[in-house]
């Protein structure tokens, strides 16, 4: 593996890239070799939740499923936070049961996500994908045991540079999510920001991958 793409919605099937492809239980694609699977807060349908959770549990028991998610909380959507929280907590229970890391979608609900982690005593790694906030929040999340993944906003927002530079090397991942740019482009920018050469950055990510995914 030359590159690890922590979170993507596009499977490109390149031999030098290990891609953790986001999947949903209601449209599962068995041809994708490695994936995460979860109920995204945007797509919660109450009458389908039990069935979705059943499919997720089934997939979590396979080797191809590396993580649960993306799942989490989003305060900017109309789905009630109470329902989002219930669905999120049910997925965290599955993550604990099957010892799988969690890919987290979080919008304007970081304090709630931290509180849930503490309340449920979650022991598996929890990774905030697409981090785009300030250094203070980044520090707080890392102190609470979270990892942070950077991609789209790192490419789009130069102000994120200093936040990213302050993240300890054993606490971050890189991703493309839904953007057109490649994971190689994200790596190029990250190595520049971190003042690491290509090999050093790949070793950092590879080490984080092994630690979080027990590979």
Residues in the annotated binding site for a divalent metal cation: 70, 105, 129, 177
CA–CA separation, 143 vs 137, rounded Å? Answer: 10
If residue 110 lies in a helix (H) or strand (E), which one and from where to where?
helix 110-120
Dist CA 167 CA 67 (whole Å) = 22
Backbone angles phi, psi at 23, to 5 degrees: -125, 155
Q: Please name which of 170, 175, 188 lies closest in space to residue 67, comparing C-alpha atoms.
A: 175
Binding residues: 70, 105, 129, 177
Rama region for 45: left / alpha / beta (φ>0; ψ in -120 to 50; rest): beta
Range list of H helices, 23-62: 49-60
Distance CA 38, CA 9 (A): 13
* Strand (E) or helix (H) holding 87: helix 81-98
């Amino acid at each position: 593996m030359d590159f690890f793409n922590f979170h993507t919605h596009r499977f490109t099937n390149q031999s030098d890239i290990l891609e953790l492809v986001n999947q949903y239980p209601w449209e599962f694609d068995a041809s994708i070799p490695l994936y995460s699977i979860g109920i995204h807060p945007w797509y919660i349908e109450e009458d389908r939740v039990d069935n979705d959770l059943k499919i997720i549990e089934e997939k979590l028991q396979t080797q191809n499923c590396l993580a649960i998610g993306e799942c989490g909380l989003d305060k900017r959507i109309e789905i009630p936070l109470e329902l989002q929280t219930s669905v999120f907590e049910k997925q965290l229970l599955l993550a604990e049961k099957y010892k799988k890391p969690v890919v987290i979608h979080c919008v304007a609900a970081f304090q709630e996500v931290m509180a849930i982690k503490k309340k449920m005593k979650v022991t598996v790694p929890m990774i905030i994908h697409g981090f785009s906030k300030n250094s203070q929040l980044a520090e707080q999340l890392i102190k609470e045991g979270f990892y942070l993944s950077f991609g789209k906003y790192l490419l789009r927002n130069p102000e994120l540079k200093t936040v990213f530079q302050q993240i300890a090397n054993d606490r971050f991942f890189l991703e493309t999510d839904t953007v057109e740019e490649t994971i190689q482009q994200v790596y190029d920018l990250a190595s520049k920001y971190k003042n690491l050469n290509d090999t050093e950055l790949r070793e950092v990510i590879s080490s984080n991958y092994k630690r979080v995914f027990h590979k």
